[in-house]
A and B are shown apart, each in its own frame.
Chain A
Amino acid sequence: MLNVGLSVLGLSRFQFAMTTVFHFFFVPFSIGLAFIVAIMETVYVVKKDETYKNMAKFWGKIFLFSFAVGVVTGIIQEFQFGMNWSEYSRFMGDIFGAPLAIEALAAFFMESTFIGLWMFTWDRFNKVVHCLFIWLTAFGSTLSALWILAANSFMQNPVGYVINSQTHRVNMTSFSAVVTNRQLWNEFPHVIFGAFLTAAFVVAGSSAWRLLKKDHEHFYRKSLKVGLIVGLCACLGSVWSGDTQTRYLINSQPMKFAAMEGLYKNSTNKGNWAPIAGFDTKNHQTKWSVDIPYVLNILSYHKLSGTIKGQNQVNKELKAKYDGTTQGRKIKDYYVPTRTLFWSFRIMAVSAGLFGLLAIIGLWLNREKSNAIMRQRWFLYVMGICLWLPFIVNTAGWFVTEFGRYPWVVYGLLTIADAVSPTSTVVGLLFTNIVYFLIFASLGAVMVILSHRVLKAGPDSVLTDGYSSKPEKSSDVDPYEMGAAHND
């Protein structure tokens, strides 16, 4: 899968994958949870039901853990382009830096300022204004996703550029082409729906665990309801945006698409689709597969007929296109890691079905004036376990997107091997990889322990924000006011 020999290239790739996957545990969760908290607070403002205020405060607290880890791991992301991939930075700076800078300027400032205001000013502003803070935080986090995906989309599908004939680097010619990149508007909705889904199922799943313990039934049933409603909408959105994005790939990145469906040979008009299959990646052939006719065509073209190019055919075409060119001079072939893409794609598809099903069953069991949800303990167990699933699914999504671009870092323009820092050393990278790994493992563990503790402590004990070490005393008082007094 990941070709990690002890080489600078292998270790740099491993580091990028590790830091990005870890960072992306927290990013979608934060984006989604900001919206869910915003929805809860809005319901409170409209309905004046205190339960919703407590819900917003409570889930807001969990949001803050995730946000903090997201911020600090995000700086790694920005720095490592220069640190590990300096040739990439030189090649792409003219285009890639701009969205990154705009992301910081337009989105990060908004997010961090308004979350600071939100967490420390309960009861200091009127309800509508305070609610506006969390909406601005949520809006800021969405904007940040938009800009970083604009940068990523260029790597998938370069537009609005020329290659400078002297420097052999990318020069931007049209910013509007970069931000209207079709890849971006296929990718962005899918990522955002994925973020909603992640947060929704973590909220619903955590609530399910608490309900199993018969803890704060009223509170957690309402949380479960909000989680499942958002989760169902997000699930439908993910399926829709996933479908448009996948079909877009048929023409834009046929190799990625063929690998996702495990096709080496061109498909016939019959449209055989394999839910499961085995591959011989060395000799580029399918060893065995379970075939269902027509499904491939329905998925790809929304009709019964049509054909899809297999990887062998696409490889030939790409070789004809790039062999002998500067960019393609070192590339042997263009096959991508088929097993990774095939199974990652299936993890996404199966999970989407599962999420949808769970949301519908859950909403039915959790309907008002019925106690069914408390009797169907199996369902609560399944929900509780499924709170981990979105993180796996998000990772699978990025595996498809990024492995499917192999061997390019910028599609058709720069290979991964040519992008790495010439100054990097194996020893340095080994050291940093090990340290990052240890940090991430311990941060992840602390995050889980803390969230679990907050959940266990329940809604009554956490109506405090800020950094006081004595949460139990502050109960309903504004934590900032509590410690504050004018010095007259």
Chain B
Amino acid sequence: MTNLQLLWFLLIGVLFSGFFFLEGFDFGIGMSIRFFAKNRDERDVVIQTIGPHWDGNEVWLITAGGAMFASFPMWYASLFSGYYIVLFLILVALIFRGVSFEFRANMQTENWRNFWEWTASISSFCAAFLFGMMFTSMIQGVPLDAQGNIYGKFTTYVNWFSLVGGVAVSLLCFIHGLNFLRLKTSGGLRKRAESWSKLLYPVLLAGEVVFVILLYLTTDFFDRKPVSTWGILIALVIFTLIAWWGASASHDWASFLASGLSLISVVVLIFNGLFPRVMIGQNNVNSILIKNASSTPYTLHLMTIITFSILPIVLVYFIWSYWIFYKRLRSPKQTAS
């Protein structure tokens, strides 16, 4: 494995981390529209919090996918063709989610507004759930042939661990969304988000315990890398506890950052467990390795130069746009009173 290959493996991890940190609260906000907000005014405010940002956040996924294609075509080809139906369902969920914000605002009847709100909430949940399911089923090892094709059965994708993974990721996203709401709203909405997350954190912690047990039973992470795996899992729990504490102590920023970091911990856990592989074969047979899956040094070198000259500029205006909109929102009723 060359340094460039290692760098790109890390960069793909960084891009997915960015995606889950940002789109994580997007998904959570999406779910909150119907599962948390109580009336139309609240829903307006909830959607408004991500209005200027959601499509920019989704670009992280597009960038991660493109970067994976460019740097590890064998990984991209194997994962994307092997997870055909799962990714298809993710795409369907993302389509409905994306258009529902735009369509909802322009509907004239209550029923249609309700329809697009439910669409946004359910598709946000499905997208988060399916991403969680995909990554947790992937790390258990999938039936790979020598060419890197996955011939999976139904249980390759849907099993106890992947279902728990799906639920855990969607719950994590939901709470991350609530924490984002605490940052961006005020009054009753913020208070309620706080009390909801206080209640949900014990559930999440229980889920994390089940997750760790199943991780131990179904993956080779603890055999191959006991120290780092335990380290990351402890970090995950600590971030969860900090976020919980933040909810009790009204530290909105601490909760938000900690819930984001726990999502990132999950990504780090997966990438750490994969290394030095990119796809794990069943019983580690035919696993695809970083050193065999990448593009040529020429392409990796080129992409490195381009990424390191463009990404800093992107980050500057990306963060600047968040800063511009960093302001708490209130529903019109509250403003009037």
Q: Which residues of A contact B (CB under 8 A)?
A: 64-65, 67-69, 71-76, 78-79, 81-84, 86-87, 89-90, 92-98, 100-106, 108-110, 112-117, 119-121, 171-173, 175, 421-424, 428, 432, 435, 439, 443, 446, 450, 453-454, 466-471, 480, 482-487
Name the distance in Å between A171's Cβ and chain B's nearest Cβ. 5
Contact B299 A68 (CB under 8 A): no
Specify which of B76, B298, B330 is in contact with A82 (CB 8 Å cutoff). B76
Contact A79 B91 (CB under 8 A): yes
A425 to B, closest residue via Cβ? B84
- The answer to whether A86 and B98 touch (CB under 8 A), given A109-B318, A120-B52, A172-B296, is no
Specify which of B59, B150, B328 is in contact with A104 (CB 8 Å cutoff). B59
A87 to B, closest residue via Cβ? B77
Given contacts A105-B307, A109-B63, 20 further A-B contacts (CB under 8 A): A69-B98, A75-B62, A75-B94, A81-B80, A89-B69, A93-B74, A94-B299, A95-B299, A97-B69, A97-B70, A103-B66, A105-B63, A108-B63, A172-B302, A467-B102, A469-B105, A480-B52, A485-B328, A487-B186, A487-B187
Contact A117 B62 (CB under 8 A): no
Which chain B positions have C-beta within 8 A of A471?
A: 105-106
Question: For the complex, what is the distance from the CA of A428 to the CA of B67, rounded to whole Å?
Answer: 27
Instruction: State whether the Cβ of B209 lies closer than 8 Å to any Cβ in chain A.
Output: no
Kindly list the 7 A-B residue pairs having the minimum CB-CB distance in the complex, ordered from nearest.
A93-B73, A82-B80, A97-B70, A116-B52, A97-B69, A86-B81, A101-B66
A106 to B, closest residue via Cβ? B310
Specify which of A81, A173, A484 is in contact with B330 (CB 8 Å cutoff). A484
Could you mark each residue 37-80 of chain B with 1 if its beta carbon is under 8 Å from any beta carbon of chain A, else 0?
00010011101100111011011011101111111111011111
Question: For the complex, what is the distance from the CA of A69 to the CA of B98, rounded to whole Å?
Answer: 8
Binds A, one of B131-139, B165-173, B229-237, B319-327: B319-327
Contact B99 A72 (CB under 8 A): yes
Tally of contact residues, B, Cβ under 8 A: 84
Which chain A positions have C-beta within 8 A of B335?
A: 483, 485
Specify which of B55, B80, B314 is in contact with A105 (CB 8 Å cutoff). B314
Which chain A positions have C-beta within 8 A of B105?
A: 466-469, 471
Interface of B is mostly: helix
Which chain A positions have C-beta within 8 A of B84?
A: 83-84, 421, 423-424, 428, 432
Question: For the complex, what is the distance from the CA of A431 to the CA of B188, rounded to whole Å?
Answer: 45
Contact A93 B77 (CB under 8 A): yes
Name the distance in Å between A410's Cβ and chain B's nearest Cβ. 14
Specify which of A84, A454, A480 is in contact with B325 (CB 8 Å cutoff). A480
- The answer to whether A483 and B296 touch (CB under 8 A), given A82-B80, A86-B81, A428-B84, is no
Interface of A is mostly: helix
User: Could you name 29 residue pairs across A and B whose Cβ atoms are closer than 8 Å?
Assistant: A64-B102, A67-B55, A71-B98, A75-B62, A75-B91, A90-B74, A90-B77, A93-B76, A97-B68, A101-B70, A101-B71, A101-B307, A102-B310, A105-B307, A109-B314, A109-B317, A113-B56, A116-B56, A172-B296, A173-B298, A423-B81, A432-B84, A453-B108, A467-B44, A467-B104, A469-B113, A483-B44, A484-B329, A485-B186
Contact A423 B149 (CB under 8 A): yes
A471 to B, closest residue via Cβ? B105
Instruction: State whether the Cβ of B87 lies closer than 8 Å to any Cβ in chain A.
Output: yes
Contact A79 B87 (CB under 8 A): yes
Contact B55 A482 (CB under 8 A): no
Name the distance in Å between B211's Cβ and chain A's nearest Cβ. 27
Instruction: State whether the Cβ of B82 lies closer than 8 Å to any Cβ in chain A.
Output: yes
Contact A65 B102 (CB under 8 A): yes
Contact A97 B66 (CB under 8 A): yes
- The answer to whether A117 and B113 touch (CB under 8 A), given A78-B66, A172-B296, A487-B186, is no
Which chain B positions have C-beta within 8 A of A95?
A: 299
Question: For the complex, what is the distance from the CA of A483 to the CA of B79, rounded to whole Å?
Answer: 43
Cβ < 8 Å to A, chain B residues 281-329: 295-296, 298-299, 302-303, 306-307, 310-311, 314, 317-318, 321, 324-325, 327-329
Instruction: State whether the Cβ of B85 lies closer than 8 Å to any Cβ in chain A.
Output: yes
B59 to A, closest residue via Cβ? A108
Which chain A positions have C-beta within 8 A of B187?
A: 487
Which chain A positions have C-beta within 8 A of B98?
A: 68-69, 71-72
Contact B66 A109 (CB under 8 A): no
Name the distance in Å between A80's Cβ and chain B's nearest Cβ. 8
Contact A466 B299 (CB under 8 A): no
Instruction: State whether the Cβ of B16 lies closer than 8 Å to any Cβ in chain A.
Output: no
Contact A73 B95 (CB under 8 A): yes
A93 to B, closest residue via Cβ? B73
Question: For the complex, what is the distance from the CA of A450 to the CA of B314, rounded to whole Å?
Answer: 33
Name the distance in Å between B154's Cβ and chain A's nearest Cβ. 12
Instruction: State whether the Cβ of B332 lies closer than 8 Å to any Cβ in chain A.
Output: yes
Which chain A positions have C-beta within 8 A of B216?
A: none
A119 to B, closest residue via Cβ? B52
Contact A450 B327 (CB under 8 A): no
Instruction: State whether the Cβ of B250 lies closer than 8 Å to any Cβ in chain A.
Output: no
Instruction: State whether the Cβ of B157 lies closer than 8 Å to any Cβ in chain A.
Output: no
Contact B311 A105 (CB under 8 A): yes
Could you mark each residue 1-18 of chain B with 1 if its beta carbon is under 8 Å from any beta carbon of chain A, else 0?
000000000000000000
Name the distance in Å between B125's Cβ and chain A's nearest Cβ. 17
Which chain B positions have C-beta within 8 A of A443?
A: 95, 99
Contact B63 A72 (CB under 8 A): no
Question: For the complex, what is the distance from the CA of A471 to the CA of B107, rounded to whole Å?
Answer: 10
Contact B101 A467 (CB under 8 A): yes
Instruction: State whether the Cβ of B103 lies closer than 8 Å to any Cβ in chain A.
Output: yes
Which chain A positions have C-beta within 8 A of B66?
A: 78, 97, 100-105
Contact B62 A104 (CB under 8 A): yes
Name the distance in Å between A425's Cβ and chain B's nearest Cβ. 9
- The answer to whether A101 and B92 touch (CB under 8 A), given A86-B78, A483-B45, is no
Name the distance in Å between A107's Cβ and chain B's nearest Cβ. 9
Contact A98 B303 (CB under 8 A): yes
B76 to A, closest residue via Cβ? A82
- The answer to whether A466 and B310 touch (CB under 8 A), given A72-B98, A83-B88, is no
* Most B C-beta atoms less than 10 A away, residue of A76, A102, A173: A102
Contact A89 B102 (CB under 8 A): no
Contact A89 B295 (CB under 8 A): no
Specify which of B45, B65, B107 is in contact with A79 (CB 8 Å cutoff). B65
